[in-house]
Chain A
Amino acid sequence: MSRSHSSFRFSTSKWIEKLIPLALALLVLILLAALVITGLSLMGVTPSA
Chain B
Amino acid sequence: MTYIPYLSTIITFIFVVAVYTRYRQRGGVHLLLWTIGLLFFAVGTLTEVILSLTYNSIVLKIWYLTGAMLTAAWLGMGTVHLLVRKGSAAKVITWVLAAISVLAFFLVMLAPVLSSNYDIARPASEQYKEIFARSGLMILFTILLNIYGTITLVGGAIYSAFLFWRKKVFASRMFGNMIIAAGALAPAMGGSLLKAGYADMLYLSEFVGGILMFIGFVVSTSVKSEIVE
Contact with B150, one of A10, A31, A40 (Cβ below 8 angstroms):
A31
A13 within 8 A of B: no
Stretch at the interface among B18-26, B60-68, B168-176: B168-176
Judge whether A5 and B196 touch: CB under 8 Å. Answer: no
B202 within 8 A of A: no
Interface SS, A side: helix
Judge whether A34 and B165 touch: CB under 8 Å. Answer: no
Interface SS, B side: helix
Question: With the chains together, A38 CA to B197 CA distance in Å?
Answer: 10
Contact with A38, one of B143, B158, B171, B181 (Cβ below 8 angstroms):
B143
B52 within 8 A of A: no
Determine the interface band of chain A, counting residues with CB < 8 A from chain B: 20 to 34
Contact with B182, one of A12, A20, A27, A37 (Cβ below 8 angstroms):
A27
Q: Which residues of B contact A24 (CB under 8 A)?
A: 158, 161-162, 165, 178
Q: Which residues of B contact A41 (CB under 8 A)?
A: 192, 195-197
Q: Which residues of A contact B228 (CB under 8 A)?
A: 1-3
Judge whether A27 and B168 touch: CB under 8 Å. Answer: no
Q: What's the minimum C-beta distance from A36 to chain B, rounded to whole angstroms?
A: 9
Residues of B within 8 A of A (CB): 143, 146-147, 150-151, 154-155, 158, 161-162, 165, 168-171, 174, 178, 181-182, 185, 188-189, 192-193, 195-198, 225, 227-229
